[in-house]
């Protein structure tokens, strides 16, 4: 197995598609919401939770979520696309769920954090396993293996 094959994770189980569709779809749609509903989900929300330069960061994070979420949906550069999203979800947990835990306790935080923790674990899985057999990463690897001529 080449380094490229190892990095792409093209040999991961085909069922990895389900994780990619779930995680990629959620991030893709969350990114779109940051542009469509700026006050509720984008810059307005970022300002309410104390993120500096909320207008810049709201658009930046929305762009990262759309781009990397779409890459996950396609299974293209899956491991690489997982990294910015891991940073994104870690900041989301630290800026919204940890304060809720400190203010209201475990159970209210747990109720609000289920999606965040699911996304976090899905991203860790994709980072470790890669895109899976049904992905553009796998298609790229199979094209590389064919003899040229």
* Residue 20, in any domain of the structure: yes
Residue 38 lies in a domain: yes
36-57: average pLDDT: 96
Would residue 5 count as lying in a domain?
Answer: no
The pTM of this model reads: 0.89
pLDDT (tens digit per residue) in 96-137 = 999 999 999 999 999 999 999 999 999 999 999 999 999 999
pLDDT tens per residue across span 67-97: 999 999 999 999 999 999 999 999 999 999 9
Asked if residue 56 is part of any domain, the answer here is: yes
Average predicted confidence (pLDDT) for the chain: 92
User: Is 4 a domain residue?
Assistant: no
Q: Is 3 within the bounds of a domain? A: no
Burial class (CB in 10 A: 0-12, 13-18, 19+), 1: exposed
Nearest to 27 by CA among 95, 111, 89, 97: 89
Residue numbers of the domain that contains 111: 10-144
Tally of domains within the chain: 1
Q: Which residues have CB under 8 Å from 142's CB, separation 6+? A: 10
């Amino acid at each position: 197995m080449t380094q490229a094959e190892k990095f792409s994770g093209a040999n991961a189980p085909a069922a990895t598609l389900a994780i990619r569709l779930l995680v990629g779809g959620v991030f893709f749609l969350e990114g779109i919401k940051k542009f469509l509903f700026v006050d509720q989900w984008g810059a307005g929300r970022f300002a309410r939770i104390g993120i500096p330069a909320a207008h810049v960061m709201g658009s930046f994070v929305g762009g990262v979520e759309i781009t990397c979420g779409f890459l996950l949906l396609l299974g293209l550069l899956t491991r690489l696309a997982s990294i910015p999203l891991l940073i994104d979800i870690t900041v989301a947990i630290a800026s919204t769920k940890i304060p809720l835990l400190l203010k209201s306790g475990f159970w209210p935080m747990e109720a609000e954090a289920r999606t965040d923790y699911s996304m976090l674990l899905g991203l860790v899985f994709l980072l470790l396993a890669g895109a899976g057999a049904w992905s553009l990463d796998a298609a790229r690897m199979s094209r590389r293996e064919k003899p040229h001529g």
